[in-house]
Amino acid sequence: MSEIRYNRLEDNYVIIAPERLHRPDYMSWSKEEQSVTSCPFCEGNEEMTPSEIYAIRENGSFADEKGWSARVVPNLYKAVQIEAPYLLKSIGANKVWEGFGAHEIIIDTPEHLNSLSKWSQKTFFHWFKTIQARTQDLKKDERIAYISVFKNHGPSAGATQPHPHTQLIGLPMVPREIVRKYERMYSYYMNSGNILMDEILEEEKRDKKRIVIKTESFIAFCPFASEYPFEVMIASDKISSELETIRDTQIKELSALLQELFIKMERELGNFDFNMSICVAPMKKHFDVDVTCRFTIRIMPRIYRHGGFELSTSTMINPIEPEKSAKLLRGVYDEY
Ligand SMILES: [Zn+2]
C-alpha cells in the first residue's frame, strides 16, 4: 500500500510507493575513472586550477603547491561571479541581477578516492572546517544574502568530476523555497513557542524506527517523508542553529558520525550517487534564525530517475519506506 506523507519541515508531500520498487533504473558511478595525472583536483596538479582562495596546509607549504588537506578555488564554470556588478535592473516588468555572486569549489581531499566511506575522520574534520571558514568569510560581504553549500557525487547527481569536491554558491537574494522554510520555522516558533525541528527530533527519538545513528549532539535519521530512497538527515540535537557556531569538539563528533554513516550507506547501496546539502542559514539581516532553527545536513541518494510527475508537481515518489531504509542502514536484516 502506498502512502502520501506530509513533510512538516518542507511543507510538501511525498508519495511512498513500495510497489514501484524496481532496479532497472539504477544508475551507478561510471567505472571509467579519470586518471590521477589528468585530474585538476589531485595533489600535484595545482596549476590546473585557478589560484586558491583558501587551504588547510602543512606548515611551510606554499599556496598553489602540494601540502594541503583541503583547498578552495573559484569555479572555472561559474554560475555567478563575484566580479559582476551588484546591480538589480528592471527590464520592463522583469527584474534581473547582473550575474553577481560567489561560486567556489572546495576540493575536499588531495586523494582521488571517490567514495566517502573511505575518508578518515580527519578528512571529514578538515572538510567541515573549510566549509565553516569559507561561509564565515563570505558572510562578511554585505551583498550576499544566502549561501548554498552542496555536494554532487556521481553522474546521476550532476557531478562532472570524480574527485571529491563540494560547491559553494553565494547569492544576492534568498531562493523562494529557503525563504518559505525559514518563514515557516519562524512563524511556528512565534505561534507555538516551540522549535519545529526540535519537535521533529523528539518525535523521531520517541518512535526510534527511523533513527540510524544517535550521538550526544547529533541524530542521523531517515525523515518520515523522505523524498529519496535511503535519504538521511543529520540534525544537531538542540545545540546549534548555524554552521558557524558548531565547535571543534562537535565537529569531531560529526566527523565520526559521517564516517560511520557513509560506511553503512555504501554497504547497502555500493558506491552510490548522491546529492548532499549542508544547511547555511540566510544572513541575519534577512531572518532571525538563532532560536528558530537547527543545523542540518541532508543526503539524497540518486538511485532512481525523476519523471514528468515529479517535475510538474514538485512531489516525489519514493519506492522505499524510510523505516525500511533506516532498518537496513542500522544493519537489521530480519523480515527482509
Ligand atoms: Zn583527482
What are the DSSP calls for 138-153, one per residue? HTT-TT--EEEEEEEE
Amino acid at 85: P
Q: What is the 3-state secondary structure (H, E, C) of 237-264?
A: CCCCCCHHHCCHHHHHHHHHHHHHHHHH
291 found inside a domain: yes
Q: Residue 100's closest CA among 116, 82, 119?
A: 82
Q: State the distance from the centre of ligand 1 to the C-alpha of 60, rounded, in angstroms.
A: 23
Q: State the distance from the centre of ligand 1 to the C-alpha of 107, rounded, in angstroms.
A: 9
User: In terms of pLDDT, which residue wins out, 292 or 13?
Assistant: 13
233 found inside a domain: yes
**18 pLDDT higher than 80:** no
193 Cα distance to chain centroid: 28
The whole-number pLDDT of residue 334 equals: 66
- Give the position of cell 507555538: 192
**Section 195-211 average pLDDT:** 94
**25 pLDDT higher than 60:** no
CATH code assigned at 11: 3.30.428.10
Q: Residue 39's closest CA among 107, 108, 112?
A: 112
**Residue 51 CB: number of other CB atoms within 10 A?**
10
Q: State the distance from the centre of ligand 1 to the C-alpha of 101, rounded, in angstroms.
A: 27
The span from the CA of 148 to the CA of 171, in Å, is 8
280 found inside a domain: yes
Q: Residue 298's closest CA among 283, 319, 281, 277?
A: 277
85 found inside a domain: yes
336 found inside a domain: no
**34 pLDDT higher than 70:** no
Q: State the distance from the centre of ligand 1 to the C-alpha of 40, rounded, in angstroms.
A: 6
**19 pLDDT higher than 50:** yes
Q: How many residues does the chain have?
A: 336
333: Cβ–Cβ under 8 A, 6 or more apart, which residues?
Answer: none
35 pLDDT band, cuts 50/70/90, is low
50 backbone φψ class: left, alpha, beta (φ>0; ψ -120 to 50): beta
Q: Residue 242's closest CA among 131, 124, 90, 329?
A: 131
288 pLDDT band, cuts 50/70/90, is low
Residue 241 CB-half CA count within 13 A:
16
**Section 109-130 average pLDDT:** 94
Angle between helices 322-330 and 248-269 (to 10 degrees): 100
* Residues whose beta carbons lie less than 5 angstroms from ion ligand 1: 39, 41-42, 112, 163
The whole-number pLDDT of residue 167 equals: 95
335 found inside a domain: no
Q: State the distance from the centre of ligand 1 to the C-alpha of 29, rounded, in angstroms.
A: 15
10 found inside a domain: yes
Which range of residues forms the domain containing residue 138? 3-330
285 pLDDT band, cuts 50/70/90, is low
The whole-number pLDDT of residue 43 equals: 94
Q: What is the pLDDT of residues 141-181, one digit of tens each?
A: 988 999 999 999 998 898 888 999 999 999 888 888 888 88
Q: State the distance from the centre of ligand 1 to the C-alpha of 46, rounded, in angstroms.
A: 11
- Which grid cell sits at 189? 516558533
The span from the CA of 299 to the CA of 59, in Å, is 34
The whole-number pLDDT of residue 95 equals: 77
Q: What is the pTM of this model?
A: 0.89
The whole-number pLDDT of residue 213 equals: 97
Q: Domain tally for the chain?
A: 1
297 pLDDT band, cuts 50/70/90, is very high
Query: What does the mean pLDDT of the chain come to?
Result: 87
114 found inside a domain: yes
The span from the CA of 206 to the CA of 98, in Å, is 49
49: Cβ–Cβ under 8 A, 6 or more apart, which residues?
Answer: 40, 41, 73, 76, 105, 107
Q: State the distance from the centre of ligand 1 to the C-alpha of 295, rounded, in angstroms.
A: 30
The whole-number pLDDT of residue 134 equals: 96
The whole-number pLDDT of residue 31 equals: 44
